[in-house]
Amino acid sequence: MNWNKLVRQIHRWLAIVFTVTVIVTFVALAQEEPVVWVSYVPLLPLFLLLFSGLYLFVLPYAAKWRTARRTRAER
């Protein structure tokens, strides 16, 4: 499997995990005596989403930079 496809697939699954953790957090905090530490649970998938999303965001620009550098080297 291509590295970019792997990161894209991981990013999709992290989005699902993040959504589920946010829903669980809302349910847990709606209880009569909420457990406060549950509100920190979505942070881990959120940070992983941040890094994978930044990687996916930079991919097209990196391809342009590589193409531009290659065409300059051929001249």
Q: DSSP letters of the chain?
A: --HHHHHHHHHHHHHHHHHHHHHHHHHHHTSSS--GGGGGTTHHHHHHHHHHHHHHHHHHHHHHHHHHHHHHHH-
> Against a cut of 0.95, is the pTM above it?
no
Q: What is the pLDDT of residue 15?
A: 98
| Separation CA 54–CA 46 (nearest Å) | 12
Q: What is the pLDDT of residue 42?
A: 97
Structure tokens at 33: 């005596």
Q: What is the pLDDT of residue 41?
A: 95
Structure tokens at 41: 């649970």
Task: Using 70 as the pLDDT threshold, list the residues of the chain that sit under it.
Answer: 1, 75
Q: What is the pLDDT of residue 27?
A: 94
Q: What is the pLDDT of residue 75?
A: 67
**How many domains does the chain fold into?**
1
